[in-house]
Amino acid sequence: MFTNCTPELARLLPKTVLMQSRELQASKGTRLFTTGEKPSHMFFVLTGEVVLERPGSKGELVVLQRVRQGFIGEASLNSERYHCHGLVISASRLVQIPAHAIRAALETDPAFAGRWIQMLSQELKRLRLQCERLALPKLQDRLLHLVETEGDVGRYPLGAGLKSLSAQLGVTHEALYRCVALMEKQGLIHRSQGDLCFL
Amino acid sequence: MFTNCTPELARLLPKTVLMQSRELQASKGTRLFTTGEKPSHMFFVLTGEVVLERPGSKGELVVLQRVRQGFIGEASLNSERYHCHGLVISASRLVQIPAHAIRAALETDPAFAGRWIQMLSQELKRLRLQCERLALPKLQDRLLHLVETEGDVGRYPLGAGLKSLSAQLGVTHEALYRCVALMEKQGLIHRSQGDLCFL
DNA sequence: CGTACTTTTGAATCGCATCAAATCTGGTGG
DNA sequence: CCACCAGATTTGATGCGATTCAAAAGTACG
């Protein structure tokens, strides 16, 4: 059992599950899980940054999901094997939850199952928006779309830097640096304390 | 109640829900639902093709999801309002299921809730792959990725034509036509009876 | 038969990928 | 505390691939 939990997680998980969970610290570079492994634990990110990545056809890594707060790889709860890696890219506080505890609770606690469905549905909508974003032809439009849909009143936290963001936006980091620099010169945005601020 | 059902749907839904559902035919151009509406029914596509689309910033429509078989807009089951349109783009057979029937069954039937979670999880993984695909810089790689991940032994059904596919791949239809034409000339693929066949 | 839409090809332009290199940064060990 | 190193950031030059605008041909449907 662990003590310091976010309200979100406490509202989502039943007590029986929380009691079997534990908090852990992970430093940058830690592999939470690897392709091919059987999912034994689910991970909830409290602070920091974790990515889900998959080796592309030429060995390069593609970022599938980027989480600063929330579950990572939750779709693999009932999977036989992970189809991607879970990598910590900036020092993070995590909650580690036994997968079997969640599966057991889902079968016996209908209210929890409902909340889990709710969470998956939200993630689905977020991903549909991400697809919409990636379909935009110009990078500047993708950035604006990102802030409209995921930002907080015109602010978007950069987390582990622009480089990890560039993968999520489907462009090279050079292109993103240039795009941000141009938009700053045009007075459309500015950066302050690790946030992108739009005006 | 309706009669002709796919095994998939019969396995997923409890009898009580199936009894409240009905089959319907929808012709091309039919709006199943519209942005802002409260979701009263869920739709399962038996045959044909339905897309989920959202009006972009300049009024153009972006395709969020394309379904030839399966649920459309299932993430909105518990939403207050749709955040996108459901449009039939080629004559389809659908099953219309009252949303309240599904919600009620999810609360009382844990096994059904488990199957619903399984379905959402699968959709999540599919969408993550779609994001990965859209992040590929070249259209040809996106096409190959599409067949690797969604195709059936090197065959991918085009359904309502290349145009609706181009939106899903995040390119203009001209680009897709040219890419396909080039790959046919190179002997990489060929088209037969509405399928893309890779060699 | 006409109308609307898809498919197809062409030409010009533009944005991003790519390769290269320099600078900055945080963190490590001496 | 400082030298050093790995990785992130930034800028430059060049080429390719997709967008854009345009127009023609094919196709489905009333």
DSSP characters for A130-176? HHHHHT-SSHHHHHHHHHHHH-BTTEEE-SS-HHHHHHHTTS-HHHH
| For range A173-183, the mean pLDDT | 95
| For range B143-169, the mean pLDDT | 88
Q: Which residue has the higher pLDDT, B161 or B185?
A: B185
DSSP string, A46-79: EEEEEEEEEE-TTS-EEEEEEESSEEESGGGTT-
Distance between start and end Cα atoms, chain B? 44
User: Counting beta carbons within 10 angstroms of the beta carbon of residue A124, is it exposed (0 to 12), middle (13 to 18) or buried (19 or more)?
Assistant: buried
Task: Considering only the beta carbons, identify the residue of A63, A120, A131 that sits closest to B117.
Answer: A120
Q: How far apart are CA A38 and CA A111, in angstroms?
A: 27
Which residues, in sequence order, are bridge partners of residue A62?
A54
CA-nearest residue of chain B to A131? Answer: B131
Q: Could you give the angle at the alpha carbon of A138 between the alpha carbons of B122 and A133, nearest 5°?
A: 25
- Write out pLDDT tens, residues A44-69: 999 888 988 887 666 667 788 888 88
The alpha carbon of residue A106 and the mean position of all alpha carbons in its chain are separated, in whole angstroms, by 23
Q: Is the pLDDT of residue B130 over 90?
A: yes
Q: Which residue has the higher pLDDT, A127 or B66?
A: A127
Residues 145-174 of B with CB under 8 A from A: 145, 167, 170
Chain A to chain B Cβ contacts (< 8 Å): 123
Q: Is the pLDDT of residue B3 over 60?
A: no
pLDDT, residue A176, reads 96
The alpha carbon of residue B32 and the mean position of all alpha carbons in its chain are separated, in whole angstroms, by 13
Q: Is the pLDDT of residue B81 over 80?
A: yes
Q: Which residue has the higher pLDDT, B12 or B65?
A: B12
Task: Considering only the beta carbons, identify the residue of A111, A120, A170 that sits closest to B134.
Answer: A170
- Distances in Å between the Cα of A187 and the Cα atoms of A55, A151, B99 are 38, 18, 47
